[in-house]
């Protein structure tokens, strides 16, 4: 793990209240590609896989859409994966299995093609029928990246998984939905969110930020609520990089903070309302219709 004194000292200071960014995260990634050690670059690449996740979901729903350029995997590779897993073209199996992260292949096999390997897989698939595809993919993604050897990176990804699950559990309780169908992952917090009937789901001693989440969820203005979530994450980043501001953890935190500012600089109220309506609709209906259409369009 490298030390990046020159890089970090030359970066503009970021504040959560900033409304303009000094450069985009894509531009910053170009700098990191030229600066980081190979091992640290691989850590940052784990973060950018989320754009490949976004592109995979877009490919499933809208195969003619333009992919997010921040993703590395091309649509043609998703198409090749489909051909390989359906037996249409076995010649590319070794290449595509080497090129794609294993969680993407697992997601495609399990949730797009409906393949299961044992009774436990079948039971879990049935439990997850109500969860949108993007959340199922995110669960496998978090499980994959949380295995990285860097504690800070792993903790960041787990924090995001936990907060998403907390919001899902609170929403389910509010609207009398079955929490088991909406909580993803198998860590200790996910298990508590599925089973505990306590107001804090029995998590006050395990995840101190549960009280913050419980307060944030009461906010009725959707954009204010989302901003408070980012404030919570921003504080976590600052608290966990304070003592070593020149290592890869601090560089990664800067990237994450830059993305937050970039997102808020382009987000407006109409977009927030549209996103919320889409979320509610997904929780009520899942993504079965889009998945069935995708399967029909990709039959031989």
- 60-71 tens-digit pLDDT: 999 889 999 999
The answer to whether residue 123 scores a pLDDT higher than 90 is no
SS3 of 150, please? coil
Overall average pLDDT of the 121-144 stretch: 78
Domain borders along the chain are 49-145+287-300
Which comes out higher in pLDDT, residue 10 or 268?
10
Overall average pLDDT of the 16-20 stretch: 93
Rounded to 5 degrees, φ, ψ at 129 are: -60, -30
Q: Give me the pLDDT at residue 290, please.
A: 53
Q: Give me the pLDDT at residue 283, please.
A: 46
Q: Give me the pLDDT at residue 49, please.
A: 97
The answer to whether residue 284 scores a pLDDT higher than 50 is no
Q: Give me the pLDDT at residue 138, please.
A: 94
Answer for the pair 75, 58: CB distance below 8 angstroms, yes or no: no
Overall average pLDDT of the 127-150 stretch: 89
Overall average pLDDT of the 263-276 stretch: 64
Q: Give me the pLDDT at residue 267, please.
A: 76
The answer to whether residue 159 scores a pLDDT higher than 90 is yes
Which comes out higher in pLDDT, residue 287 or 200?
200
CA-only gyration radius of the chain, Å: 20
pLDDT digits (tens, 9 = 90+) for 79-101: 999 999 999 998 999 999 999 99
Q: Give me the pLDDT at residue 58, please.
A: 95
Rounded to 5 degrees, what angle do the CA atoms 158, 28, 233 make?
30
Q: Give me the pLDDT at residue 121, please.
A: 56
End-to-end CA distance of the chain: 48
Q: Give me the pLDDT at residue 256, please.
A: 97
Q: Give me the pLDDT at residue 116, please.
A: 64
Overall average pLDDT of the 184-190 stretch: 94
Overall average pLDDT of the 265-275 stretch: 61
Confidence of residue 127 (pLDDT cuts 50, 70, 90): low
pTM: 0.84
Which comes out higher in pLDDT, residue 269 or 149?
149
Dihedral angle of Cα 52, 162, 230, 174, to the nearest 10 degrees: 110
Helix axes 25-35, 38-61, angle to 10 degrees: 140
Name the average pLDDT for the chain: 88
Rounded to 5 degrees, φ, ψ at 3 are: -115, 135
Helix axes 288-297, 38-61, angle to 10 degrees: 90
């Amino acid at each position: 793990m490298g030390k990046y004194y020159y890089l970090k000292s030359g970066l503009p200071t970021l504040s959560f209240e900033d409304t303009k960014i000094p450069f985009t995260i894509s531009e910053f990634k170009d700098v990191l590609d030229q600066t980081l050690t190979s091992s640290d670059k691989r850590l940052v690449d784990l973060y950018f896989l989320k754009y490949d996740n976004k592109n995979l979901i877009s490919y499933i729903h809208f195969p003619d859409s333009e992919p997010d350029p921040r993703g590395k995997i091309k649509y043609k590779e998703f198409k090749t994966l489909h051909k390989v897993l359906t037996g249409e073209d076995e010649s590319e199996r070794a290449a595509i299995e080497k090129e794609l992260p294993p969680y993407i292949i697992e997601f495609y096999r399990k949730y797009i093609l409906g393949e299961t390997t044992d009774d436990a897989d079948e039971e879990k698939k049935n439990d997850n029928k109500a969860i949108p595809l993007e959340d199922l993919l995110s669960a496998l993604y978090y499980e994959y990246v949380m295995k990285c050897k860097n504690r800070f990176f792993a903790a960041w990804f787990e924090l995001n998984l936990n907060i998403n699950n907390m919001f899902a559990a609170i929403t389910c309780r509010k609207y009398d939905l079955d929490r088991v169908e909406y909580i993803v992952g198998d860590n200790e917090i996910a298990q508590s969110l599925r089973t505990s009937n306590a107001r804090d789901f029995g998590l006050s001693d395990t995840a101190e930020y549960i009280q913050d989440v419980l307060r944030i969820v009461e906010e009725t203005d959707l954009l204010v609520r989302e901003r408070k979530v980012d404030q919570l994450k921003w504080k976590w980043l600052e608290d966990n990089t304070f003592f070593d501001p020149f290592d890869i953890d601090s560089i990664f935190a800067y990237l994450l903070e830059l993305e937050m500012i970039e997102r808020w600089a382009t987000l407006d109220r109409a977009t927030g309302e549209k996103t919320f309506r889409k979320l509610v609709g997904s929780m009520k209906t899942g993504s079965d219709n889009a998945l069935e259409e995708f399967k029909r369009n990709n039959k031989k």
